Amino acid sequence: MKIVAGLLTKALGPKWEVLSEEIGLWIPIAVIHMEHNDRPEGEEEIEEEVLPGRPLPPECNAELHTDYDGAAVRWGLTHPKESAADCCQACLDQAKLAKPGQMKCNIWECWLKYAEHPKQNFNDKYSEEYRNAHPTAPLVVPWVAGVVKV
């Protein structure tokens, strides 16, 4: 905004003040932004994110911005759900209905997955190595995941 104001002032010269007053335009020379912080001294900042949809049951063990490794039990691209709670429920349901010898879902991201010992691929942000290999990937893991007991 400061650059635009400077260019207009230069272009209009001494007529700038008259024109801006006539049209009711006021452009500040500088914008001073001060963040208001009323948190008590020594108290940590809590970063809360709102997860849309119905609340998740505790057995879903939801983790924001997390990706787990595991074999696909249900392909995620063809398995859209309305919410994280629906994804978790689909995992729980698949595990209950799995036939003997079939993998039982124990990881949900709406890719229903199975791993004997679930381990995180990413938490919060993708690694630099991953981003170099996938330059169009977002910085932050864009979904919620969880591990359920089966």
Looking at the structure, tell me whether residues 71 and 138 fall in a common domain: yes
64 is in which domain, residue-wise?
58-147
Instruction: Identify the H or E element spanning 74.
Output: strand 71-74
Number of domains in the chain: 2
Q: Please give the pLDDT value at position 46.
A: 59
- Alpha carbon of 146 to those of 24, 46, 56, 105, 129: distances in Å? 55, 21, 10, 11, 24
Q: State the average pLDDT for the chain.
A: 82
Per DSSP, the residues of 7-36 read HHHHHHTTHHHHHHHHHT----S-------
Looking at the structure, tell me whether residues 129 and 68 fall in a common domain: yes
Q: Please give the pLDDT value at position 78.
A: 80
Looking at the structure, tell me whether residues 72 and 143 fall in a common domain: yes
Residue range 96-115, pLDDT digits in tens = 999 999 999 999 988 889 99
Looking at the structure, tell me whether residues 66 and 133 fall in a common domain: yes
Residue 107 lies in a domain: yes
Looking at the structure, tell me whether residues 100 and 132 fall in a common domain: yes
Residue 50 lies in a domain: no
> Which amino acid type is present at position 47?
E
Q: Please give the pLDDT value at position 8.
A: 62
Rounded CA separation 97/113 (Å): 15
Residue range 32-79, pLDDT digits in tens = 767 666 667 776 665 667 777 888 889 999 998 899 999 999 887 788
Residue 69 lies in a domain: yes
The reported pTM is: 0.59
Residue range 9-22, pLDDT digits in tens = 676 666 766 777 77
Eight-state DSSP code of residue 76: G
